[in-house]
Structure 1
Amino acid sequence: MKTFLFTVLCGMLLAGQAMAQAVNTLPQVLDSKVKSVQIAPSSNLYLPPIYVMGSDDVLNITFDYLDYDVHYLRYSVRHCNANWQPSVLVPSEYVSGFNEADITDYAQSNSTFVHYYNYNFTLPNADMQFYKSGNYLLTVYEQENPEKVLFQARLAVCENTVAVHVDATSRTDVDYNDRHQQVSFTVDYKQGLIADPYNELTAVVSQNSRLDNEVYLTRPFMVSPGQVTYDHNRSLIFPAGNEYRRIETVNLHSLNMGVERVQYFEPYYHATLRVDEVRAASPYLYDKTQHGHFTIRNAESDYSATESDYLVTHFSLDCDRMTGGKIYVQGAFTQGLPAADCEMHYDQPSGTYTCDMLLKQGAYNYQYLWVPNGSSVGQTGPIEGDKYQTTNEYLVKVYDRPSGERYDRLIGYGINYGGK
């Protein structure tokens, strides 16, 4: 018993020391051979990576490693607070068994020019069950070299003990049916579940799973018996953006949506996309999109995970040279962030911005973000335009830390698809 207490206390001390310095927990791929990272509920690929405790659903994690040889990999999870900094909990407090395990489900690509291994596992599983709700940082690394991290990603575990009702409207506190959408939401709970809503709760609001413009709220607008309301908050007013652009590379031998041509130049297939236009001054045009998500698919195979090839995908944007910032391609395939390998570069001879990315066959949503110098927040207005009619996905996660608690519990979440 003394040994156990000593171990727990040491773990808490180390965790406390780690909290003294901010840890980079942003989703990122650290090995260029890792591609097509996806985390989603097995029941619906387009839902956020949130596991509801006690449900029959699981989170499915899949990715490729581009190589002829198999690599033996492991994964670990680390509990984090609402702000995605590591909590003071030790692994034995938040997962059963150990907080790391081998990835044993993998398969070699078949009939593809690019050779890769497809890896797949689920959470929770027989080796790892979640004891605590909240945020979790997933890390995948080499089995023989734990210091060689391949990528890290985010997922969440939810208690679902409250009901979160989300609304979004184009009739905002700053304009009316113009360039913005305003989010409001309520949290309904049983009496006694939340003792001090004004000081216990943290709400996080995201638009289309983007992390660069995510909003954190620590004070509700109003509290009434059994209900907390968040409304009329300037932080909840988002630029409306535009419907995501779409491309498909599901067939290598016929025309695909948004693709000008597909050619093979050893060692890769190349997909040259149709030149995109700036939409800022164009009228709104509805298109049914997946709010930035992507799907791996080969229309000529029943085994898309291992029989889909990789293509060098050439993006181009017909746009005058812009100064004072950078343009990025953004979507779920960029980890929801304006990333360095998704930066567009101006090509003087063609008068276009271009970016080349190695993408697996499938259907992709994307948009162009303008990021001013000195800022990390992308803007849709300069290129895509901000149209109040746009259908956006607004995700609200609600965390609770009662007095004396040592971590942030994720007690509920809600999603709204709209904005009109």
Structure 2
Amino acid sequence: MTRYLFFLGVLFFCSSPILSQAVEVPPPDFIKTIQFKSNTTQGQLPVLRLGEPLVLEFDALNANEEDFYYVIEHFNYDWTPSVLAKAEYLRGLDNQRILDYFNSFNTYQIYSHYKLQIPNLQTRALLKTGNYMISIYDDYGELMFSRKFMVYEDLVNVGVKVKRSRDVKVIASKQSVDIAISTSIINFNNPLETVKTLIIQNNNLNTAITGLAPQYTLGNQLIYRYDTETAFWGGNEYLFFENKDVRAANVGVQFIDLKDIYHNYLFTNEARKGNPYTYNPDINGNFQITAIDRTDVSIEADYTMIHFSLRHEEFMDRDVHIYGNFNGFSIEPLTQMIYNSEAGIYECMMRLKQGFYNYKYVTIDRATGILNEGDISGNYWETENNYKVLVYYRDLGARYDRLIGFGEATSVDISN
């Protein structure tokens, strides 16, 4: 009974109009490898077509076979709580226990793998489009972590083109996104107020650009051709490693060692800022779980301790972190690197499941907390990046923001 009263309190609190924008809560140390799987998009940011199943998987490394529960909430385009009641956007019930879990098999690191698929017997369907947050609680009502996802319907065509920046000061380091929205289904009423867009680079919501109004209206077509408002830093291609075989050095792995679990020592990386751009294919910050000679990698892939190192002089006013979608692009104590003054390198070790991982090194200003992706890697207009564009619409008098369109492009075909 205590747990249910707690959830009622959480839901009441989350429906309060004084709340600010919702933010994702990172998991504790013993929860790893949070993955979304979708048929629509590649990567760990789930943008689902209405009616498409949502699949969430994660591992718990404490070997307690704990019970976990999920709660789903609906939000406006700006991640403030919507006014919809639960029954309006959800058919069935949430606040249910995740029933599907399996223990690891033949691994040094013992863990339990949890899998949640919606729809299921209790949660039968999501009824509305828009922004959602799924929160995972333990049996004591403590929030373990939360993740955002989006549900859309195909009501508009979203054309996306990537251009070099129109600002000559940053033309060599930024990319700009042009958008054209067209439809024969919806008659946009006052699109300057009712239509909102969200532009996401490489599945990273932390750097997304939102709230832009259309610049031009041509019939029922909305045009966005901003000079600076839709410009992103180009960044650089992600670094990567693969350890699908824990007993042998693979791509990016210099040597291995077996202690309590396998330790993989990566080659020491060098700063790339200021060097000429070099094309190096990546998966735009994402990761993929892989393991050789395994039937089911979800429970047979082992965890290894990955040792990262970066050769760089010490920053006096900035911290260095490892950055990627392996933890949802979160900055946390586990990702911070420590400077080894004797070796002249930054070092960090992190427990990760076997697979192929993209990562890069970023800096955080200690005074302002500002994250700089190009401080070590550099920014180049040639970098291959993925861009997703989401289109929200709230008609006059409507009670929530519908997600009516989704478009995607890469900078492979970037033009002036």
Superposition TM-score, scaled by structure 1 size: 0.91
Q: Distance in 2 between matches of 1:322 and 1:313?
A: 23
What is the aligned partner in structure 2 of residue 160 from structure 1? 154
What is the aligned partner in structure 2 of residue 6 from structure 1? none
Q: Distance in 2 between matches of 1:233 and 1:202?
A: 18
Is the Cα contact below 8 Å between 1:15 and 1:89 reproduced in 2?
no
Q: Which amino acid aligns with 2:348?
A: C
CA-based RMSD of the aligned residues comes to: 2.1
Q: Distance in 2 between matches of 1:264 and 1:21?
A: 48
Trace 1:163-202 onto structure 2 (pairs within 5 A). 163-175=157-169, 178-190=172-184, 192-202=186-196
What is the aligned partner in structure 2 of residue 140 from structure 1? 136
Q: Which moved more, 1:17-26 or 1:312-321?
A: 17-26
Deviation at 1:162, TM superposition (A): 0.9
Q: Distance in 1 between matches of 2:369 and 2:214?
A: 26
Counterparts in 2 of 1:230 and 1:23: CA distance versus 1, 3 Å = closer
Counterparts in 2 of 1:218 and 1:16: CA distance versus 1, 3 Å = farther
- Aligned to 2:377, the other structure's residue is in SS state coil
Is the Cα contact below 8 Å between 1:50 and 1:59 reproduced in 2?
no
Is the Cα contact below 8 Å between 1:135 and 1:157 reproduced in 2?
yes
Q: Distance in 2 between matches of 1:15 and 1:265?
A: 46
Deviation at 1:110, TM superposition (A): 0.4
Q: Which amino acid aligns with 1:51?
A: L
Trace 1:4-403 onto structure 2 (pairs within 5 A). 14=12, 18-22=16-20, 24-29=22-27, 31-42=28-39, 45-46=42-43, 48-54=45-51, 57-128=52-123, 129-142=125-138, 144-146=139-141, 148-175=142-169, 178-190=172-184, 192-266=186-260, 268-403=261-396
Is the Cα contact below 8 Å between 1:79 and 1:136 reproduced in 2?
yes
Q: Distance in 2 between matches of 1:47 and 1:417?
A: 17
- Aligned to 1:213, the other structure's residue is in SS state strand
- Aligned to 2:350, the other structure's residue is in SS state strand
Q: Distance in 2 between matches of 1:198 and 1:358?
A: 47
Counterparts in 2 of 1:383 and 1:217: CA distance versus 1, 3 Å = same
Share of identical aligned residues, percent? Answer: 28
2:415 paired with 1:417:
no
Q: Distance in 2 between matches of 1:253 and 1:341?
A: 25
Q: Which runs of 5+ in 2 are unaligned?
A: 1-7
Q: Distance in 1 between matches of 2:117 and 2:176?
A: 35
Is the Cα contact below 8 Å between 2:19 and 2:81 reproduced in 1?
no
Is the Cα contact below 8 Å between 2:302 and 2:354 reproduced in 1?
yes
Q: Deviations along 1:11-46, whole A, 9 cap, x unmatched?
A: 9x95786220325422521x2110000113046643
Q: Deviations along 1:243-299, whole A, 9 cap, x unmatched?
A: 111111110122211111111112x21111110110012221112211111011111
- Aligned to 2:205, the other structure's residue is in SS state coil
Deviation at 1:125, TM superposition (A): 3.3
Q: Distance in 2 between matches of 1:117 and 1:67?
A: 8
- Aligned to 1:368, the other structure's residue is in SS state strand
* Aligned pairs, number: 404
What is the aligned partner in structure 1 of residue 5 from structure 2? none
Deviation at 1:68, TM superposition (A): 2.4
Counterparts in 2 of 1:279 and 1:91: CA distance versus 1, 3 Å = same
Q: Which amino acid aligns with 2:317?
A: G
Is the Cα contact below 8 Å between 1:263 and 1:270 reproduced in 2?
yes
- Aligned to 2:334, the other structure's residue is in SS state helix
Q: Deviations along 1:353-403, whole A, 9 cap, x unmatched?
A: 112111000000111112223445422222101111110011111111112
Deviation at 1:165, TM superposition (A): 1.1
What is the aligned partner in structure 1 of residue 401 from structure 2? 408
Superposition TM-score, scaled by structure 2 size: 0.91
Q: Which moved more, 1:82-91 or 1:273-282?
A: 82-91
Q: Which amino acid aligns with 1:184?
A: D
Counterparts in 2 of 1:191 and 1:111: CA distance versus 1, 3 Å = closer
Q: Distance in 2 between matches of 1:70 and 1:42?
A: 29
Is the Cα contact below 8 Å between 1:199 and 1:218 reproduced in 2?
no
Is the Cα contact below 8 Å between 1:96 and 1:131 reproduced in 2?
yes
